[in-house]
Chains A and B, each alone.
Chain A
Amino acid sequence: MNSSLLVIEFLVALLGLGVLLADLWIAPSARRTLAYVATTGLLLVFTIHAGALAPADGTAFGGMFLVDGLANFFKSIFLVAAMVVLMVSTRFADRLNGYGEFVALILFATVGMLLTASANDFILMFVSLELITVTFYILVSFQRNRLSSVEAGVKYLIFGALAAAFMVFGITLIFGSANSTNFFEIAAKQGELAKSPVFLIGLLLTFVGLGFKISAFPFQMWTPDVYQGAPAPVTAFLATGSKAAGFVLILRLAYGVVPELSAKWSHLLLGFAVITALYGSFCGLAQRSVKRLMGYSSISNAGFLLLGIAAANDTGSSAVAFFLAAYVFTTLLVFAGVTVVTADGETDDFSAFGGLGQRSPFLAAGLTIGLVSLAGVPPLAGFFAKFWLFKAAALRVADDRWFLVAILAACVAVVISFYYYFGIIRAMYWPRHTAESTPVEPSIPVRLAMVTCIAAVILMGVFPGGLVSVARQAVAGLGPATAPAAHAAPPVAAH
């Protein structure tokens, strides 16, 4: 057993416990410091993670826990997302009762995400996902004095429970048919398992649970309501960290564990991908609430990402990784702006953003960059991410015509989404009515977070080469080619 592989997770969990304890003694007015301490702590963890002290690749806990390129890539995303969310949430500190708990819960959710990235077993996968979901039940309804927040929490709870029930049921079926929950072991005998309907149903039900996490059609219903009701920083984390956690597992399952089955189901995946993308785009059209709109945007983007999963080639897996990295920064940038605006006003209607170009040129510019990147306009990160994802799908057109149809449909979704992203920009710079004129002043941590995101969004768009090679390396360990090699590993770990 090699528990030193979990050093990152241990450190973040300790940080969370420390914050929880410190919260008991710290004065309520100084709770904001906790967020700064937590961010600094995460920054230290991040330097360990990215630096020479990072744990080497390997497995621990009897093959349950795995450190590889993919896990490390996504752990970086989760840590960055958590840092940005914490910095942005300081704007909410006064509005949230028990801000110290809030910070600790964000850290615990981060631990869950870090674990999902390393999960190599259905049991650890379920547990880490539940760690995320359970903390989010509380986070979503954290503004207990606001009815909409509580309502969102209840909805998320019931849906989360529903999805978890299906997933755990699926896992039992998998265990029943495969006699194992380890990814490597299942990957080794996927050929014969594919003939067992029990295993197939189990796997499908597991995907249902993951589909809930990433808000894919037809499990997307909760997304707009919860996104709208939750406090803006929580929505930001939900849209980035939680979604990325779902995708790291889908990537691992589809590319690493059951690549043959996912290739067989590629039309099904493609169909759900396109419907998800179009659903998100169409429903976003008539929205006037920015948070709700971002919910639909999140659904739409899940559709694009599924396109990369369906492509089932190297480009597809690395494109999904790249897209998520770009998406996380872009979405955090938008939500940082949304947080500042909604922290003051009660509403997140378009009108709250009216005239933002004058009220806070910085915020408006940051939001605009984020939205334009989400829409996929060059030279920002969102453009290259979409481009690469579509390219992965385009590589399949030669052997499968349906990919062409899917790409065209996805392009329609992109075009429609332009309309609503630019609707927000229009509201900011060309308000329809004479909107509010009170200036908005983002605090220094928020500015810092936004500047980081802006720099990342621009750099990833202008010089995508660096991140592309990192993403390629990250997914290099996945795929059918490595499955036999992985097959050799577990007996060693087991004995």
Chain B
Amino acid sequence: MDHSAAPLAVTSSHAQDLAWVVLLFPLVSALSITFGLRRSRTLTNTMALSAVVTGFFLSVALFLGFGFGPGVNADALPWLSIPGLNIHLGLKVDSLSTLMLMVVTGISSLVHLYSTQYMDEDQDYPRYFAALGLFTFAMLGIVLSDNLVQTFIFWELVGVTSYLLVGFWYEKPAAADAAKKAFLTNRIGDFGFILGIVIVWAATGTVQFDELAQKLHADPKVLGNMASLAGVLIFLGAMGKSAQVPLHVWLPDAMEGPTPVSALIHAATMVAAGVYMLCRVFFLLDLPAAWPDALSFLSPFSALGIIAWVGGITSLLAGLIAIQQDDIKRILAYSTLSQLGYMIMAVGCAGPDAAMFHLTTHACFKALLFLGAGSVIVGCHHEQNIWKMGGLWKRMPTTAICFAIGTAALCGVPVVTAGFYSKDAIFAAALADGRHMLFGIGILVAGLTTLYMARLFLVAFLGTPRSEQAEHAHESPWRMTLPLTILAFPSVALGWLPIGGFLKHRFFPEVAVHYPDSLTEILFEPFNHSPLGAVLGLGMIIFGAFAAVMLYWSAAQDPLPDRVPGISRALSRRLYFDQVYEAVFIPLHDAVAALADWFDRWIVQGFIVRGASGGVELFGRGLRLVQTGNLQTYAFFFVAGVALVVLLALN
């Protein structure tokens, strides 16, 4: 380190420790709400809001200070130290984590503000904000972690806190079930994740990202024939959190939670954690295929190849299912799945920069869409079926305009939305990696996206009201529309910033990055950079929009079930994933449970426990008879005892 060359680095040598503040503020807020502030609503939301907003501004400062350098580590606390394994609780402050910090704290701040209105009538207002703070803390922990074990700890913490939030209305059976489902499904992925961590640790002796990167840089074969297996196992963790097929089933159900929660954890943060984690350990995944002998049949595939295909399939299936959903939040949920599939696919196509870029823009416009949906739901008196809405354009103008911007961004309308630029980066990555099939899927999904989003917008916002609730819809108060308006700006403009180039430089420092300089060049950069993707994407948007207008322009009900009944039914039943799981895993699980129950009931409880305790109890009662309370008896035993001792000792 050449300190003399960078005086700023010397003066700010401990500025990175501010990251601890960003991390711990939400925790402090959650604890103080739980242990006292909860008596006052004003105190509760002031505390919660100020914690995340402060975090956001500090994140921006951290980004400006450290995002452009090689990255630094904040002071670490030793946590676990046994021979062969040293784990510190440390924070990594670099371009990747500070960017993600801004996304998480930014969205979290707006969701907090929105929630002060949305949850206003809820009795458990303080519990909500405490859980939200705890969740933000856990999520920031993943973002800032500098080693795999710490990541895993916060990973689980995110699982727990999302359980609390999804099941916030636990008195509703659907919400309680959804929380359970999300938690259990994530367990499957997490199991793989921790196995992956163990493999990496066993092979390299460290779990610290920097040390791992160094070791892999020095010897790319350090993981031996476990390289791909480790990568895929770690990816399993991401599959759970980022809801990739076949572990995606929890995300749509998780919509039972309050809508701001959906915006925060199912759009911008928790589900993005998987993508972020993959980008963080990209150097571990980007290794040539190497499988242990038992799995040699997988040798044609590298870890990245598997990741790319899982992502592609997820994006396609989710895009299809979204077309035939009627619940506004479920459409958005499947759309989220589809976009997450894009990001995962981008990682698999060796484009972590594209994945992070799309993660950033998607966080903004998907949060915007979810919050907009929340506004619609409140406006329509808790109606969620789009076929019972209609004509909201006139009744909820601010929400409608913001929603339209979000929709456009999600579809990737060229030039005027952020989604266009980040989506194009993904197409370019797929092409550059030579994965033409996946490129095709990506383009197709762009069309599907436009179709289902245009359907949603046409049915819910245009036309005439289809129900009493929609008739009497009203615009939401400012605390809900303000976050929408704020989010609309980055949804439009984020793509104009050179985030893509910035990230490319971060992941591939050896590649020369071309930053566009003139305004036209900035605006039309994708056409210049990857014309095929941009043009085909545009074509699919037009096609999708055209199809949607043809089918749904002032339609009273969905025409698809009549025209293609089989497909429609399959799609609206979500391709029967849940049914298959129910038919296969639940009986299997029940059988195992029944066996275990039998064993426990008859062998463990009946024979071992009850037998032992019964015997012990009987013996104890018997012995008690000796204790008669009679002094003469006692004295007799005493003297007999003396005789016994002397006899035994002298023998």
A residues with a Cβ closer than 8 A to B are 154-155, 158-159, 162-163, 166, 197, 200-201, 204-205, 207-208, 211-212, 217-219, 221-222, 224-225, 265, 268, 271-272, 279, 282-286, 416, 419
Contacts and interface: CB of A to CB of B under 8 A. Distances in A.
A201 B651 CA distance: 12
A437 B399 CA distance: 57
A265 B649 CA distance: 7
A218 B621 contact: no
B643 to A, nearest CB: 10
Contact of A282 (B623, B633, B648): B623
B452 to A, nearest CB: 54
B623 A279 contact: yes
B511 interface: no
Interface in B604-651: 613, 616-617, 619-621, 623-624, 626-627, 629, 631, 633-635, 637-642, 644-646, 648-650
Given A162-B638, A283-B624, A204 B616 contact: no
A155 B637 CA distance: 14
Given A207-B645, A219-B641, A286 B650 contact: no
Contacts of B629: 225
A212 B641 CA distance: 11
Contacts of A272: 645
B617 A285 contact: yes
A476 to B, nearest CB: 29
Contacts of B626: 221
A208 B637 CA distance: 13
Nearest to B644: A218
Given A218-B644, A265-B649, A268-B648, A282 B616 contact: yes
How large, as a class, is the contact surface on chain B? 20 to 34
Given A283-B624, A286-B620, 14 more contacts: A159-B635, A159-B638, A200-B649, A205-B642, A207-B645, A218-B640, A218-B641, A221-B633, A282-B616, A282-B619, A282-B623, A284-B620, A285-B620, A286-B621
Contacts of A283: 620, 623-624, 627
A162 B645 contact: no
B248 to A, nearest CB: 41
A211 B637 CA distance: 14
A9 B650 CA distance: 38
B623 A159 contact: no
A200 B649 CA distance: 9
Contacts of B627: 221, 224-225, 283
Contacts of A159: 634-635, 638
A225 B637 CA distance: 15
Contacts of B623: 279, 282-283
A284 B620 CA distance: 7
A162 B637 CA distance: 12
A283 B634 CA distance: 16
Nearest to A216: B641
The 3 closest A-B pairs by CB, nearest first: A218-B641, A285-B620, A221-B634
B617 A158 contact: no
Nearest to B620: A285
29 contacts: A155-B631, A158-B631, A159-B634, A162-B638, A200-B650, A201-B646, A201-B650, A204-B645, A204-B649, A204-B650, A205-B642, A211-B645, A218-B641, A221-B626, A221-B633, A221-B634, A224-B627, A268-B645, A268-B648, A271-B648, A272-B645, A279-B623, A282-B623, A283-B620, A283-B623, A283-B624, A286-B620, A286-B621, A419-B613
B635 A158 contact: yes
B629 to A, nearest CB: 6
Contact of A204 (B613, B624, B634, B646): B646
A224 B629 CA distance: 9
Contacts of A285: 616-617, 620-621
B623 to A, nearest CB: 5
A204 B646 CA distance: 7
Contacts of A212: 638
A207 B616 CA distance: 30
Contacts of A224: 627
Contacts of A158: 631, 635
Interface centre among A155, A159, A222, A285 (most CB of B within 10 A): A285
Contacts of B638: 159, 162-163, 212, 218-219, 221
Interface centre among A201, A279, A416 (most CB of B within 10 A): A416
